Structure 1
Amino acid sequence: MGGVDVVNGVAGAVIGMLFAVLFQQPLQDTWFKVRRRSVGAVRSLRSRSESSPSWTTFSLGPLHTSALIVEGDGEHPIPAEGVHIQVLDGETRLPGEIAHWWDEIAAESSRLQEEGRTPVWNGLRYAVESLDISRTPVEEHPEVRLRLRPTDYYTFLAAQQLDRRTPDGSTLRSRYLDPDRPLEAPAFLQCSLGVNVAVVTADDMLVVSQRSNRVRIAPGTWNSSVNEGVSRQIDSSGRSAPVLHAVARRGMREELSLEPHEYSLELLAFVLDVEKRHWSAHFYARLNELTRQGLQDRLSRGVADRWEHETIDYVPFRAATVAGYLLHPDRIHRWAPAAPALFHLALVHVHGRATVERAEAQAVRRYRA
């Protein structure tokens, strides 16, 4: 029996050695592959969990806005002939369950008028039904198509109450707006279409305005050089669609007393304030001969809409200076949503993206130091 045990032991050792030679390496390779795939799967899941949407609003370091640049990069202006506007039949109206909000605003206006105070005038406006973007086949120039519907200012004010409870307890924001689909919203929530212009004087000074405390929307905030809403009464003759360049020129005349021959004008972008659903066409205007002092002298002789502005600042139009101005402690939380993106795009248009991005990064580092 002892001999049999020895033979069995020797046979087992030999078989073990053969097994190790034949299968150990393949088993190690298999284990390595399984481990590598497991690690890769975990990394893939981690990267997916840390992904971010491509549609994000404009920010500059600690300065965060609700302005979404939908079209335009600043470097390449959008040609006027590339903007097509269609006015649809049928006026935009509020849903029946909140129609009384419109009546409340009308009643408030009547009360103010009876008290001898300034009423809320119900001007005729446009609501944005949709904005579509494409490219021309050969040059790939942008083609922007705006579809508008008639509306009025009271409808706009009523729909601005996005977080007011409706009879069923929901809000307009929760019911109609999806933060992951920022370009999708019913027309009655988009009753604001306007232009914002960044004006630079002949001696390279950026004009920055502070909104008056008398305006109803965003009083006291710092804003673009010129801000003008599109009016059905003024900007559309007969049944013709409005022309955005003409609206910008009207704003330049009414707010800064400037005539078209005194400046160049370029359309840089279309921007949406996703928080309040305000659409804006962003323009850059360069004065041909009028300096800061010349413009200031012009304004001293009278402006049609002087009451809309509380203060005007003049900022050297250099990337580092404007970026620092945007981040200044007494400005950073007081900007109208569209203004920082507008000034950034204007800087890129004049100085180039690389220069502007480098200067803005330095300004952010200085702010955080």
Structure 2
Amino acid sequence: MGGIDLANGVVGAVLGMLVAVLFQDPIQNSWYRLRARSKSAVRGLRRREESSPVWRTFSLGPLHTSALIVEGDGESSIPAQAVYIQVLDQEIELPPDMAGWRAEIEEESARLQAEGRTPLWNGPRYAVETVGISRTALDEQPEIHLRLRPTDYYTFLAAQQLDRRLADGTTPRSRYLDPDDPLSAPAFLQCSFAVNIAVVTADDILIVTQRSNRVRMASGVWNSSVNEGMSRHIDSSGRSAPDLYAVARRGMREELAIEPHEYALEMLALVLDIEKRQWSALLCPAQGRELRRYAGAYQQRGGGQMGTPDHRFRSVPPFGGHQVHAARRSHSPVGPCRTGALPSRTRTCPQPHPGGKGRGADNSPNSVNQ
């Protein structure tokens, strides 16, 4: 037995030496590759954590929108005197490789008119050159500084084609926009500024609108109570800059037939739809009307049923966060930039976002569909 054990030990030692000689390099190389891959994966995770944006868009539970709350906490009002607007003289021009897109829209409108059909509407509006946010020296209240440039609706329609291929294969989105810096963009891609107003009646009814299927942008989408674009022709008398509160009052009168003396407006947020590069001020009126009084006033002033040729109105009774959540989950699309500027009795205050570049919120109502 001792001789057999000795022989087995010798054979085992020889085989071990052969395996070590033949497979030492492959085993070591495999081990080093495994370690290198592990280190690379860890470094990649760290880089992703370090490079994650300090901003996030508005969300309502599991529902996410492309609306970035740039300023406003949903509770504190931003007064009219805290909004500074400067209108620059030079009109917006599209880059040469996008100018043809606007020409296509003009040609389409001319063709429709030649066929006896309704041509595409075009009107003067504003593009957003820059947006600045600051704080007052004493009480650190927010101040908003807007610089605008003249443009028109056809330019807006052309610039909304953010994912259309350019001649070199890129798109306006990939060429001009930085996903890590959502507040930085050329003015020709930001040819839209509107006010959105959330009207909640005294009997806790939220009034919402659904855009007509005949409109060019966001047709059929559920919207805020009042959505009014800033018009260069209507909202700027002479060479004076527009006033966001005046634009909102005009929208309340045109859409709901409610006069300024019947309510008091509060601006609660400034929002950017980062997907479409559309800016919006969110406001809420403090008033005491019940829903039936809105409908009655509208009919008395010639509106017939509540609604306009372009939009129709609905109400969401009774209004509360859980009803909004359920409605938002189960019905047709909602415009992302219609984040609810709603009364505090029915609103959860958005929480400041880390880093201070933007703000986000959970459990705060968005415009709903019902």
> Structure 1 length as normaliser, TM-score?
0.79
2:324 to 319, 322, 325: 322
1:235-290 Cα deviation digits (max 9, x unpaired): 000110000000000011111111101112100011000011000000011333x2
- Aligned ranges 1:11-26 → 2 under 5 Å: none
- Contact in 2 for aligned 1:228/1:251 (Cα 8 Å): yes
Q: Could you list the runs of 4 or more consecutive aligned residues of structure 1 that deviate by over 6 angstroms after TM superposition?
A: 42-45
Paired position in structure 1 for 2:57 = 57
- Give the direction of change, closer, same or farther, for the CA distance of 1:186–1:359 in structure 2 (3 Å limit): closer
- Give the direction of change, closer, same or farther, for the CA distance of 1:349–1:193 in structure 2 (3 Å limit): farther
Question: How many residues matched?
Answer: 314
User: Which stretch of the first structure deviates more once superposed, 202-211 or 123-132?
Assistant: 202-211
Name the SS for the 1:234 alignment partner.
coil
Paired position in structure 2 for 1:292 = 291
- Select the structure with the greater relative contact order (CA < 8 A; seq sep ≥ 6): 2
- Distance across 2 between alignment mates of 1:92 and 1:161: 16
- Contact in 2 for aligned 1:208/1:315 (Cα 8 Å): no
Unaligned runs of 5+ in 2: 1-40, 351-359, 366-370
- Distance across 2 between alignment mates of 1:45 and 1:163: 29
- Give the direction of change, closer, same or farther, for the CA distance of 1:359–1:274 in structure 2 (3 Å limit): closer
- Contact in 1 for aligned 2:124/2:153 (Cα 8 Å): yes
Q: Aligned Cα RMSD in Å?
A: 2.7
The answer on 1:111 being equivalent to 2:111 is yes
- Distance across 1 between alignment mates of 2:316 and 2:291: 7
1:282-334 Cα deviation digits (max 9, x unpaired): 0011333x21111122333434970221342233232333333323x124xx1
1:299 partner letter: Y
- Distance across 1 between alignment mates of 2:222 and 2:214: 14
Q: Identity of counterpart residues, as a percentage?
A: 58
- Contact in 1 for aligned 2:60/2:362 (Cα 8 Å): no
Structure 1 residue 350: deviation in Å?
Answer: 5.5
- Contact in 2 for aligned 1:319/1:347 (Cα 8 Å): no
1:114-172 Cα deviation digits (max 9, x unpaired): 22221112200000000000000111000100000001111101101111111222111
Name the SS for the 1:353 alignment partner.
coil
Paired position in structure 2 for 1:12 = none
- Distance across 2 between alignment mates of 1:101 and 1:299: 40
Paired position in structure 2 for 1:338 = 337
> Structure 2 length as normaliser, TM-score?
0.79
- Distance across 2 between alignment mates of 1:336 and 1:359: 17
1:128 partner letter: V
- Contact in 1 for aligned 2:205/2:315 (Cα 8 Å): no
- Distance across 1 between alignment mates of 2:343 and 2:140: 23
Paired position in structure 1 for 2:281 = 281
Unaligned runs of 5+ in 1: 1-41, 364-369
Paired position in structure 2 for 1:255 = 255
